[in-house]
Amino acid sequence: MTSKKLANRYRVVTTLLAFVLVLSMSTMLIQKATAQYTHYTTISGFNFIPQNRIIPRGSTGVWSNNDPVIHTLWFVRVSDRSTYLLSSPIIPGATWSNLFTEYVELEYYDLRRLWISGTLLVTIPGDVDGSRRVGIGDGGTISDHWTGPPTGLLPYHPNCDIDGDGRIGVSDGGIISDNWGQSW
């Protein structure tokens, strides 16, 4: 091997080692903190924003009512159309929150205006593509939306911000590696 090739190889291996080190450190940090994330939805202009959410099990969903009317949220299981949850009436300017503790696929509506609807998938932390499994597709999805630096090809997407800190980065990648291969 020439010295140039050796130098190149050394560089590649060092980069890989640094990457593994960063991943394992972020994993340690995440395991120390209890996984309690908060994900926000705004009710504005008679729409849920964002309308379709994927959130990790164990996170709190918060809905803020920016409309001038009362909204009451009715959550229905996609599997059998049964009622999963009914919010209290959310008055203008108020918020309502719920801790989602089980894997479930939901549609939800404003109880009095059924044309206002959204979806909520509560899944494994790291399942950002909603396949109910954590794997390579999720890694690819967060790298597309990586907020950087360097930035990914696509803009920030809340479904990829697993820990809800407003950025898509190493901490979210660590959550994917922690839950790699899990499914439901």
What are the Cα distances from residue 90, in Å, to 42, 51, 65, 83?
12, 17, 7, 18
Give me the sign of the Cα torsion angle 26, 30, 33, 38: positive
As measured in angstroms, the least distance from the Cβ of 41 to Ca ion is 17
Q: Does 178 bind Ca ion (CB under 5 A)?
A: no
What are the Cα distances from residue 87, in Å, to 66, 79, 81, 92, 111?
16, 20, 17, 14, 9
How many helices (DSSP H) and strands (DSSP E) are in the chain? 3, 9
Q: Count residues binding Ca ion (CB under 5 A).
A: 5
Please identify, using beta-carbon distances, which residue of 73 and 175 lies nearer to Ca ion. Answer: 175
Please identify, using beta-carbon distances, which residue of 37 and 100 lies nearer to Ca ion. Answer: 37
Angstrom distance (rounded) from CA 12 to CA 144: 23
Interface segment toward Ca ion; rule CB under 5 A; list 17-25, 150-158, 165-173, 176-184: 165-173
In sequence order, the β-bridge partners of residue 76 are: 83, 107
Q: Does 165 bind Ca ion (CB under 5 A)?
A: yes
Interface segment toward Ca ion; rule CB under 5 A; list 21-29, 114-122, 127-135, 169-177: 169-177
Q: Which of 67, 110, 129, 172 binds Ca ion (CB under 5 A)?
A: 172
- Provide the mask over 144-163, with x wherever binding to Ca ion is found by CB under 5 A and - wherever it is not: -----------------x-x
Residues 57-86 that bind Ca ion (CB under 5 A): none
Please identify, using beta-carbon distances, which residue of 110 and 161 lies nearer to Ca ion. Answer: 161
Residue from 51, 52, 49 nearest 64 by CA: 49
Residues near Ca ion (CB under 5 A) are: 161, 163, 165, 167, 172
